Amino acid sequence: METSVLQKLRYAYRPKLPASLSHSIAGIGVEYGGPTESLSDQEALRGLFKHTYGMPIVTFTRGTNGGIGQKLNVGVILSGGQAPGGHNVIAGLFDGLKKGNPESALYGFLGGPAGLVGNKPVEITAALLDGYRNTGGFDMIGSGRTKIETPEQFAASLETVKKLGLSAVVIIGGDDSNTNAALLAEYFLEQGSPAKVIGCPKTIDGDLKNGPVEISFGFDTAVKVYSELIGNIERDANSAKKYWHFIKLMGRSASHIALECALQTRPNICLVSEEVEARKLSLKQIVDGLCDSIAGRAANKENFGVVLIPEGLVEFIPEMKTLIGELNDIMAANEAEFAEMERESFREIVAWLARKLSGPSESLFLSLPEEIAKQLLADRDPHGNVQFSRIETEKLLIGMVENELKAREAAGTYRGKFSALGHFFGYEGRCAFPSNFDADYCYSLGFGAFVLIASGLTGYLSCVRTLGAPAERWIAGGVPLTMMRNMEHRHGSQKPVIRKALVDLEGAPFKAFAKNRDAWALTTSYRYPGAIQYFGPPEIADIVTETLKLEHR
């Protein structure tokens, strides 16, 4: 595989570390805070995590640590969807291990958690790792979405640990993956195993955060990639002056990506799912709001614009959520009959379903564009439920806006030209070269994971705080995984999970957006961020997201 000039230059980049991790390896101490509590359901979680509940937050300081120099064998897993910077977490972990003791070894499990369960390791050497430093993707060892949840999987994981003589396992993943990390840490202790389990916070969605965990890695790079693309489209729209661009952005549940991109690029409209749910906005109200902006800009002879849409929007619209729930129930209860109906025309299928829906859901279903209705029925997961990420929300809104504008034109309340184009930005941002921020942050997380292991800690998430400051002023340490958990009803029973952090409508980032959006809706206020910069002064190359800036004011 040929290497680009940028890739060669990124290999040579030396990530910055917090001051507590950048001095002599033997001079890293650990400071312990007081006992911690889970977000809620304290009694239930205390009972489930008898060995790891209530542990203190730890902070790395200057000091001494007798465990730093011990020989360690550590396994590492990349779990879930890709996020820029994953290779640098592994690089930080590797370098920490080798600085502590050159005889220490690092093994990567191929294909994610399944590689631990199935004992599929590869030793990560300097020669292997040097071809992946500061680069995007998870291709060095691959990833996977297997969950370690059955007794057999837990037992197989422990057997792998024993066979390889592992001192610890580091799981690099999102909320579900780190839920697994907490369960695995507890299981090892129950079984009398000395092996530690440490997590690292990964997801471009930005929804793995709380208190000490300020952001998950990959978010910074992904939103910069998307914002560059959005800015390019805004400039094109302002040049051609004839298209409305409806852009759906990745973010399965939370709207952090859409909100950050709005703060960076200042589109005419950005929908925020959490606000839609809080205000109980109907699909018609959303469409009316879009049409008001389109009509207002048309009155100013600006028949163009940009709309940002979070991927999970449909799930947050109360009436759509009700409709989808009814469809799931109807199709589950009438599976055989529906299978027979699939031979009929789509119009007959719609009529059959409509008779079984409640009045409001029937009206809504019949109002949807045909291709969206087909997606609601066809694109379903193995359990028969709608796969929200596959619903082309941008096309749904374009179709409904077109119909509403025609009605307004017939009523004499709208005069303009509306041509729309739909886009989905998702996979474009997941494997990009990490920004300097993510390269530094991820390296610090990996190095911190090593210090946690060397300090004899388990059931922790590697953590770096004060991320709005320069890297040397970052505060590194660890947060107990039980501290981030609550109980949720999943698959018919209560499960201990890490709560997703949704957009805070009282938080500074949303308030900054809300303050400006009315002006942006009518006035062309676009900002063009341009490409990620890797070289130059810190205010260009090391710039942080608007979200972090606002949260650290």
* Length of the chain (residues): 553
DSSP codes of every residue in 349-379: HHHHHHHHS-HHHHHHHHHS-HHHHHHHHH-
- For the chain, the straight-line distance linking the first and the last C-alpha, in angstroms and rounded, comes to 45
3-state SS, residue 449: helix
Strands (E), 7-102: 28-32, 58-62, 73-78
The Cα 237–Cα 421 span in angstroms is 11
Determine whether 438 is an active site residue.
Answer: no
Strands 485-490 and 493-498: antiparallel
The Cα 150–Cα 188 span in angstroms is 14
* CB proximity list for 266: less than 8 A, separation 6 or greater: 516, 520, 525, 526, 527
- Which of 175, 205, 207, 440 is the catalytic position? 205
488, burial (CB in 10 Å: exposed 0-12, middle 13-18, buried 19+): middle
CA atoms within 13 A on the CB side of 362: 9
Name the DSSP class of 186: H
| Cα four-point dihedral sign 542, 546, 551, 553 | positive
Q: 544 φ, ψ to 5°? A: -100, 175
The Cα 287–Cα 405 span in angstroms is 10
Nearest to 137 by CA among 54, 193, 202, 232: 202
The answer to whether the beta carbons of residues 206 and 260 sit under 8 Å apart is: yes
Q: Active-site positions?
A: 205
